[in-house]
Amino acid sequence: MNTDFDPNYPPHVERIFTIVIPPKQAAVRLDVYLTEVLPNATRSKVQDAIEAGAVTVNGLPAKVSRKIQPADVIECRLMKPPPLELVPENIPLDIRYEDENLLVIYKPAGMVVHPGFGNRYGTLVNALLWHFGQREAIPLLEQHDGDEDDDNHHDEESNQADEYTLLASDAVRPGIVHRLDKDTSGILVVAKDAVSHARLAKQFAERTAKRQYYALVWGIVKDDAGVIEGDLGRSPRDRKKMAVVQKGGKHAITEYAVLERFQSCTLLVLKLRTGRTHQIRVHCAHIKHPLVGDEDYGGGSVVYAGNSGQWKSLGERLLKQIPRQALHAKTLGFTHPATGKWLEFDSELPMDFQAALAEARKG
């Protein structure tokens, strides 16, 4: 019996894609064409499949450099993870408010909001399905298939409609209005119906909702307050990460204010003027103050130690207290989509964040 089986990574199954090249298609390389037309394909994986003999053109093995022609029939036999399905799970939720239109939840660090490849179970959506009374698994549409090593992150504005479409049915009611990263803790709101979702999503898109984050960043932030601007896009070095880019990015603005300064780090309160993927994490790293514990964006080791081994030792103790990015969605406010009343929720810092602050104050 294999005790190493992880249900989040089930065995791959063979998927067959048949493509007939349309008339007037330009004569491009086979690998280039397949990368463009296959869902979630990458150039390297397409090339590996061709070289392994998993791709034929008109029934014959083909080379990567072969130029396709109109009426060619391409067959690709690829090993892919099985399609996703939404599985209700009896996972306890920390609900701070609930009525017939919405609920406000405190999400702990370590919980993924939405199912995906590599996170099929244990997500907030799995828990919400159970909370709303769903008991049967619900297959997802083929078009939502993804790549197992793709984090499928996008900015909030482009994802809101797609996510609600994904979850909207008579059996599936939760509408995720906004996301928090897996290792970011804090408050978020979930809509129970399409009208509430649309009205809440509009507030987030127009920035009339109030969101404040606390972050512990490396180094001493000099200005008491400021604004960080920089277009965000996929990192040219690592497609799973975001970066401030010169071309092809989306405009992003983050406001910050200093709450407390320590010997090797600073506690900030931040407000988003835009809602891009990893915005706070990337912007803080861009100004050379990455979040404490943020492995992806340069904060996973002691960034600021001055000239003293004492402060380096303090930084190492900080990292032991919070084994994730020190980011918490502390405050959330919005207009109720049905009553029109303003609701505002404040959340306590989690224990690991408090422990890191206590360690910093010792210094």
| Alpha carbon distance 329, 331 (integer Å) | 6
- 219 with 262: CB under 8 angstroms? no
| Alpha carbon distance 315, 363 (integer Å) | 10
Closest CA to 293 of 109, 152, 119, 111: 109
- 257 with 268: CB under 8 angstroms? yes
Burial profile 324-361: b = 16 or more Cβ within 10 angstroms, e = fewer: bbbbbbbbbbbbebeeeeebebebebbebbebbbebbe
- Tokens 């009343």 — which residue? 341
Closest CA to 179 of 103, 107, 98: 107
| Alpha carbon distance 211, 240 (integer Å) | 25
- 107 with 93: CB under 8 angstroms? no
| Alpha carbon distance 70, 142 (integer Å) | 27
Dihedral pair phi/psi, residue 42, rounded to 5°? -120, 155
Please, where are the H alpha helices in 68-213? 124-131, 156-167, 194-206
Catalytic residue among 31, 151, 155, 181: 181
Which residues share a beta bridge with 61? 56
> What's the DSSP call for residue 299?
-
Closest CA to 157 of 111, 207, 86, 114: 207
| Alpha carbon distance 25, 8 (integer Å) | 39
Sign (positive or negative) of CA dihedral 167, 173, 178, 180: negative
181 is catalytic: yes
Query: Where in the sequence numbering do the catalytic residues fall?
Result: 181
